[in-house]
């Protein structure tokens, strides 16, 4: 078996079976009971046996067979460098709206990975187009019960979909969804909505056909296309303005009311940015049916507000004045301002600092794509006292204190020695930081350090 098909161990969990077997980070799992492993799915099923022959390759290249007995449900207790051992299946499409193609140059390589791997869809909720899938893939989905999956539909008009994805095979979307259903898989769907392209009557058709695929189709998310200043694709795309966003909301609400009357749930959800752009309140919690597409930016604003409201404010009073600057993307700044102003606390002074994204372009308005240089540019322009700075944790690489422009959190802190800097993620953190700044500290240790960049036209990180 080739080395690239081995699972490289990143971390050993304390007290685990792997620790007992004296495995160490850097060891590679080559096979289990003679079975070659393509990914952690194969590994999980292979480890279900009670008698295990584990072939390990150590960092020096030496291979060792370790044989042992285990309980049926006992896990190995390791974290791997990648969930797929044979390499991430790359996207072969050339979509009009591909956000990965709009990433700024000279940024870390992981941001430019265009994955379209159904295994990562099952494991992590990444959206896939299915244009690179064949009969063997659907057979494996059925064999291992890989459900639910997450599918980027974009539109159900086959000719238009092939055009938008620049892939002839994209026209087979209905057939591919049929294949998923025949494999027994449920799936969540997404439409990256492009102004004047797959909206209007095309969106109406897409909604109608996806709604007809219930119950295999579990949900439909509609998110607005994101465009950065680095987009070079010759096909013209424009983002929605406030009036356009309002039209989309009105169109979709008719379907939402219909489905709610039919089965008591919403099923179709709009990205938060539509509501923020149109100046409308985001829907209440019950509208989101348990937030099935929260990681896709669907309901993050409402979830943030809910977490804020459920969190009790610290009872202590500030004896000395506290001046906090709260850094955010421009889209969520009004919501943060409203929440902060509702927290009456003596000696607490909160300033919301919406940062325009010079790095990617001002059309990118989410917090998760802010760079340290843009944050510093904005903060340096402000006068007044500053006790602390709250930054969106989503702007930091998962598991590491590094911004997208490779500036570290420590370097940002050194630039503002007079103010303590703390990351904030979610409404709970936000309220605890404002109400109990003297003791607030966000421990980010233990987070997964490896994530995958999804090939979507919309950045999912609209949250603070």
What percent of the chain shows pLDDT beyond 70?
93
Same domain, 206 and 265: yes
Residues 49, 2 contacting (CB under 8 angstroms): no
DSSP state of 432: H
Same domain, 125 and 55: no
| Cut 0.85: pTM above it | yes
Number of domains in the chain: 3
Tell me which of 43-57, 237-251, 436-450 is least confident: 436-450
Over 90: is that where the pLDDT of 3 sits? Answer: no
**What mean pLDDT is predicted for residues 5-26?**
92
Whether 454 is in a domain gets the answer no
**Phi, psi for residue 323 in degrees, rounded to 5:** -120, 110
Q: Report the DSSP pairing between strands 28-32 and 322-329.
A: unpaired
What is the domain extent for residue 226?
Answer: 99-298
In 3D space, the residue among 338, 349, 409 whose CA is nearest the CA of residue 375 turns out to be: 409
Which CATH number does the domain housing residue 60 bear? Answer: 2.30.42.10
Question: Which residues lie below 8 Å from residue 298, measured CB to CB, with a gap of 6+?
Answer: 221, 223, 269, 270, 271, 272, 288, 291, 292
Q: Distance of alpha carbon 411 from its chain centroid, rounded?
A: 26
Question: Which residues lie below 8 Å from residue 250, measured CB to CB, with a gap of 6+?
Answer: none
Answer with the one of 240, 263, 298 that is the final residue of a domain: 298
Sheet of strand 322-329, all strands in order from the earlier edge strand to the far edge: 348-355, 322-329, 388-392, 420-424
Which CATH number does the domain housing residue 153 bear? Answer: 3.80.30
Per-residue confidence (pLDDT) for residue 447, from 0 to 100: 42
What's the CA gap between 283 and 249, in Å, rounded? 11
Q: Is the dihedral of CA 166, 172, 177, 182 positive or negative?
A: negative
Between 333-341 and 300-310, two packed helices, what is the crossing angle to 10 degrees? 10
Which CATH number does the domain housing residue 329 bear? Answer: 3.40.50
**What mean pLDDT is predicted for residues 26-55?**
93
Between 173-182 and 135-143, two packed helices, what is the crossing angle to 10 degrees? 30
Per-residue confidence (pLDDT) for residue 5, from 0 to 100: 75
What percent of the chain shows pLDDT beyond 90?
78
Query: In 208-347, where do the E strands start and end?
Result: 217-224, 268-270, 322-329
User: Length of the chain, please?
Assistant: 464
Same domain, 145 and 275: yes
Same domain, 209 and 317: no
Whether 107 is in a domain gets the answer yes
Over 70: is that where the pLDDT of 15 sits? Answer: yes
Q: Distance of alpha carbon 367 from its chain centroid, rounded?
A: 13
Distances from the Cα of 95 to the Cαs of 220, 295, 314, 402, in angstroms?
20, 22, 49, 29
Same domain, 170 and 266: yes
| Biggest alpha carbon–alpha carbon distance for the chain | 68
Over 80: is that where the pLDDT of 459 sits? Answer: no
Question: Which residues lie below 8 Å from residue 251, measured CB to CB, with a gap of 6+?
Answer: 200, 203, 204
Per-residue confidence (pLDDT) for residue 461, from 0 to 100: 34
Asked if residue 215 has a cis previous peptide bond (ω within 30° of 0), the answer is: yes
- Summarize pLDDT for 281-306 with one digit per residue, the tens: 999 999 999 999 998 889 999 999 99
Same domain, 341 and 406: yes
Tell me which of 129-138, 309-318, 434-443 is least confident: 309-318
**What mean pLDDT is predicted for residues 47-69?**
94
What's the CA gap between 315 and 171, in Å, rounded? 59
**What mean pLDDT is predicted for residues 176-182?**
98
Whether 115 is in a domain gets the answer yes
Same domain, 185 and 288: yes
Whether 445 is in a domain gets the answer no
Per-residue confidence (pLDDT) for residue 102, from 0 to 100: 83
Whether 46 is in a domain gets the answer yes
Answer with the one of 18, 46, 80 that is the final residue of a domain: 80
Whether 265 is in a domain gets the answer yes
Same domain, 273 and 413: no
Per-residue confidence (pLDDT) for residue 221, from 0 to 100: 98
Sort residue 289 into left (φ over 0), alpha (ψ -120 to 50) or beta. Answer: left
pLDDT band at 110 (very low <50, low <70, confident <90, very high): low
Residues 239, 192 contacting (CB under 8 angstroms): no
**Phi, psi for residue 245 in degrees, rounded to 5:** -65, -40
Over 90: is that where the pLDDT of 134 sits? Answer: yes
| Exposure class string for 137-149: b at 16+ Cβ within 10 A, else e | bbebbbeeebbbb
In 3D space, the residue among 55, 45, 56, 52 whose CA is nearest the CA of residue 71 turns out to be: 52
Between 426-435 and 300-310, two packed helices, what is the crossing angle to 10 degrees? 40
Whether 116 is in a domain gets the answer yes
Over 60: is that where the pLDDT of 453 sits? Answer: no
- Summarize pLDDT for 143-173 with one digit per residue, the tens: 999 999 999 999 999 999 999 999 999 999 9
What's the CA gap between 336 and 53, in Å, rounded? 55
- Summarize pLDDT for 217-240 with one digit per residue, the tens: 999 999 999 898 888 899 999 999
Same domain, 155 and 181: yes
Whether 129 is in a domain gets the answer yes
Same domain, 115 and 70: no
- Summarize pLDDT for 365-390 with one digit per residue, the tens: 889 889 999 999 999 999 999 999 99
Greater pLDDT, 83 or 344:
83
**What mean pLDDT is predicted for residues 41-60?**
93
Residues 434, 345 contacting (CB under 8 angstroms): yes
Per-residue confidence (pLDDT) for residue 99, from 0 to 100: 85
Same domain, 131 and 263: yes
Residues 186, 146 contacting (CB under 8 angstroms): no
Question: Which residues lie below 8 Å from residue 338, measured CB to CB, with a gap of 6+?
Answer: none
- Summarize pLDDT for 426-450 with one digit per residue, the tens: 999 999 999 999 999 887 654 433 3
Please give the mean pLDDT across all residues of the chain. 90
- Summarize pLDDT for 79-104 with one digit per residue, the tens: 999 999 999 998 989 999 988 888 77
Same domain, 255 and 156: yes
Answer with the one of 80, 112, 137 that is the final residue of a domain: 80
Tell me which of 153-167, 336-350, 424-438, 450-464 is least confident: 450-464
């Amino acid at each position: 078996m080739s080395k690239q098909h081995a699972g490289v161990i990143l971390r050993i969990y304390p007290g685990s079976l792997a620790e007992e077997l004296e495995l160490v980070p850097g060891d590679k799992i080559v096979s289990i009971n003679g079975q070659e492993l393509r990914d952690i799915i194969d590994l999980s099923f292979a480890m279900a046996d009670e008698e295990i022959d584990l072939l390990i390759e150590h960092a020096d290249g030496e291979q060792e067979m370790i044989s042992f007995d285990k309980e049926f449900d006992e896990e190995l207790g390791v974290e791997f460098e990648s969930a797929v051992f044979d390499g991430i299946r790359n996207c072969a499409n050339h979509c009009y709206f591909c956000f990965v193609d709009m990433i700024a140059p000279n940024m870390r390589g992981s941001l430019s990975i265009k994955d379209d791997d159904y295994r990562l869809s099952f494991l992590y909720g990444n959206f896939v187009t299915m244009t690179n899938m064949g009969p063997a893939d659907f057979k494996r989905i059925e064999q291992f019960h890989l459900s639910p999956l997450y599918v980027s539909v974009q539109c159900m008009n086959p000719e238009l979909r092939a055009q938008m994805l620049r892939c002839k095979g994209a026209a087979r979307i209905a057939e591919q969804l049929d294949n998923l259903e025949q494999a027994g898989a449920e799936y969540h769907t997404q439409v990256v909505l492009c102004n004047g392209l797959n909206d209007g009557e095309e969106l109406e058709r897409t909604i109608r056909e996806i709604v007809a695929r219930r119950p295999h189709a579990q949900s439909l998310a509609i998110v607005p296309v994101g465009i950065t200043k680095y987009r070079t694709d010759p096909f013209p795309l424009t983002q929605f303005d406030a009036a356009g966003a309002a039209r989309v909301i009105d169109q979709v609400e008719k379907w939402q009311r219909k489905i709610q009357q039919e089965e008591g749930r919403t099923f179709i959800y709009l990205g938060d940015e539509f509501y923020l752009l149109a100046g409308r309140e985001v829907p209440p919690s019950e509208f989101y049916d348990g937030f099935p597409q929260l990681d896709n930016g669907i309901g993050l604003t409402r979830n943030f507000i809910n977490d804020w409201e459920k969190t009790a404010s610290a009872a202590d009073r500030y004896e000395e004045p506290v001046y906090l600057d709260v850094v955010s993307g421009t889209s969520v700044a009004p919501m943060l301002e409203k929440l902060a102003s509702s927290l009456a606390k003596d000696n607490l002074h909160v300033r919301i600092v919406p940062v325009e994204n010079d790095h990617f372009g001002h059309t990118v308005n989410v917090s998760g794509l802010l760079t340290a240089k843009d944050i510093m540019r904005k903060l340096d322009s402000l006068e007044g006292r500053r006790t602390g700075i709250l930054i969106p944790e989503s702007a930091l690489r998962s598991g590491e204190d590094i911004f997208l422009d490779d500036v570290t959190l420590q370097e940002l802190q050194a630039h503002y020695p007079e103010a303590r800097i703390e990351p904030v993620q979610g409404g709970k953190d936000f309220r605890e930081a404002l109400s109990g700044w003297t003791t607030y500290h966000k421990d980010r240790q233990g987070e997964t350090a490896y994530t995958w960049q999804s090939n979507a036209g919309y950045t999912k990180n609209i949250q603070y």
